[in-house]
Amino acid sequence: MTENNSDYLVRFENVQKSYDGELLVVKDLNLNMAKGEFLTMLGPSGSGKTTCLMMLAGFEPATHGEIYLDNVPINRVPPHKRGIGMVFQSYALFPHMTIGENLAFPLEVRKMGKSERDKKVKIALDMVQLGAFADRRPSQLSGGQQQRVAVARSLVFDPDVVLMDEPLGALDKNLREQMQYEIKHIHERLGVTVLYVTHDQSEALTMSDRVAVFDAGIIQQLAPPDVLYEKPENAFVADFIGDNNCLIGIVTEESENSCVVQTPDGSNIKANKVNIAGKGQKSTLSIRPERVIINPEVGQVPNIFKAKALELIYLGDHIRTRMQVCGNDEFYVKIPNTSHIADLNEGDEVSIGWNEYDCRALDAP
């Protein structure tokens, strides 16, 4: 490793977790978080994201491996001594306390004086624009307001790290998007380190510095959002992040940077060699719908195939078209509404094509 491990605020080293002694929920997790970073764990439900947070917060012991916080191993440190803020999906605001008391709680247990406490509570509430709500009970607030209070409460005692477990999961779409920006801005303003968990990829892409894509207890890829989208390293990530077309075939030729994959119907597709097992092995090709060119000129792109439009879905700015190509009839193409091709009809035959570097040859399922 070139980087110095001790520069990181949070480190998971070979962490494993099993609840029942039979199944590994988290398999060999290695993850480093820099100070001030906004890192998101993204993955389908059940992939072990919450378990990772619980281990870091101290509510679940790691079965194997070590977690470091500021270079101190914390496996034996009880939760209340870790100084980690948490936002829960259910907010976990204490129903028997007012908003002000909720926020004062972490300061009170730290034996902070009353005047200083009040000041900090006020600052924290103002930060989420809820200064006027200090005397209300959580149940008197809307979901979005409760969410803000939960965020404010997790930050009021100036923790080094804040963990957020699907904090926006219960909000409706508009509010969720608004809150994404608010949380992002708070993060930028305070410079706090955030470990965020979500199963919503657009949320992960909007908010994060880096995203760790989780599946089956393994980090499939850890990269900034654009890299994740542009350069997925395996079929799971390609499919999980954004719209994607999969074509499965056998590698017939292999060179340094490219390869040729033959689909079952006999089409030979030139692809960018990323993650294949070798010649003669199966591979999944990933092509983004917006990278497909309709009616390309001969020679414009190396891959040109006949396709048949099966279904057109009008989506305003673009038309999502399901096509049959290379023996696959779940192939989606995004046709911008500006182009003349927009007046394609169901059943029409067109030719489509794509560049070699837009077609990534990945591992087979």
- Residue ranges in 238-257 that form contacts with Mg ion under rule CB under 5 A: none
Please report, as ranges, the residues that interact with another protein according to CB under 8 A. Answer: 57-59, 78-86, 88, 90, 92, 94-96, 105-106, 109-110, 153-154, 157, 163
Partner touching 157 among ligand ADP, Mg ion, another protein, none, CB below 5 to 8 Å by kind: another protein
Give the residue with the Cβ less far from ligand ADP, 163 or 235: 163
Q: Which is nearer to another protein, 159 or 296 (CB)?
A: 159
Q: In this complex, which beta carbon is closest to another protein, that of residue 150 or of residue 271?
A: 150
Q: Does 201 bind Mg ion (CB under 5 A)?
A: no
User: Is position 58 an interface residue for ligand ADP (rule: CB under 6 A)?
Assistant: no
Chain positions 48 to 67 lying near Mg ion, rule: CB under 5 A, are 50
Closer CB to ligand ADP, residue 49 or residue 360? 49
- Judged by beta carbon, residue 50 or residue 321, the one nearer Mg ion is 50
The span from the CA of 136 to the CA of 305, in Å, is 64
d(Cα 151, Cα 47) in Å, to the nearest integer? 24
Choose which of 5, 7, 14, 19 interacts with ligand ADP (CB under 6 A): 19
Nearest CB to another protein, comparing residues 112 and 364 = 112
* DSSP E strand boundaries for 56-209: 64-69, 72-73, 84-87, 161-165, 193-198
Q: Which of 127, 128, 149, 131 is nearest to 139 (CA)?
A: 149
Q: Residue 17 CA to chain centroid, in angstroms?
A: 21
The least CB distance from residue 80 to another protein, in Å, is 5
Q: Does 65 bind ligand ADP (CB under 6 A)?
A: no
Please, what is the minimum distance in Å from the beta carbon of residue 107 to another protein? Answer: 9
Q: Is the dihedral of CA 286, 216, 91, 161 positive or negative?
A: negative
List the structure tokens of 145. 């307001």
**Would you count residue 40 as binding Mg ion (CB under 5 A)?**
no
Question: 67 or 86: whose CB is closer to another protein?
Answer: 86
Nearer to ligand ADP, 99 or 222 (CB): 222
The partner in contact with residue 82, picked from another protein, ligand ADP, Mg ion, none with C-beta cut-offs of 5 to 8 angstroms by kind, is another protein
Token pair belonging to 351: 């030719």
Binding segment toward ligand ADP, per CB under 6 A, in 40-48, 72-80, 237-245, 333-341: 40-48
Q: Which is nearer to ligand ADP, 30 or 140 (CB)?
A: 30
Gap between the terminal Cα atoms of the chain: 30
Q: Which two tokens stand for residue 350?
A: 């067109």
Find the helix or strand (DSSP H, E) in which 246 lies. strand 245-254
- Per the CB < 8 A criterion, the answer to whether 181 and 150 are in contact is no
Residue 306 near residue 265, CB atoms below 8 Å = no
Restricting to residues 118-157, name those near ligand ADP by CB under 6 A.
none
| Count of positions on this chain that bind Mg ion (CB under 5 A) | 1
Residues 6 or more apart from 64 whose CB is under 8 A from it?
Answer: 14, 15, 16, 17
Q: How far is the CB of 168 from another protein (least distance, A)?
A: 16
Cβ burial of 267 (10 Å; 0-12, 13-18, 19+) is middle
Kindly state the DSSP code that residue 110 receives in the 8-state scheme: T
Query: What's the half-sphere exposure (Cβ side, CA atoms, 13 Å) at 162?
Result: 27
Maximum pairwise Cα distance, the chain:
76
Does 49 bind ligand ADP (CB under 6 A)? Our answer is yes
Interface residue with ligand ADP among 46, 65, 83, 296 (CB under 6 A) is 46
Query: 16 contacts which partner out of another protein, Mg ion, ligand ADP, none, CB within 5 to 8 A by kind?
Result: none
- Provide the 10 A C-beta neighbour count for residue 64: 13
- Nearest-approach distance from CB 74 to ligand ADP, in angstroms: 19
What strands lie across the sheet with 72-73, from one edge to the other?
24-34, 8-18, 64-69, 72-73
Which residues of this protein are in contact with Mg ion, per CB under 5 A?
50
Which residues of this protein are in contact with ligand ADP, per CB under 6 A?
19, 25, 43, 45-51
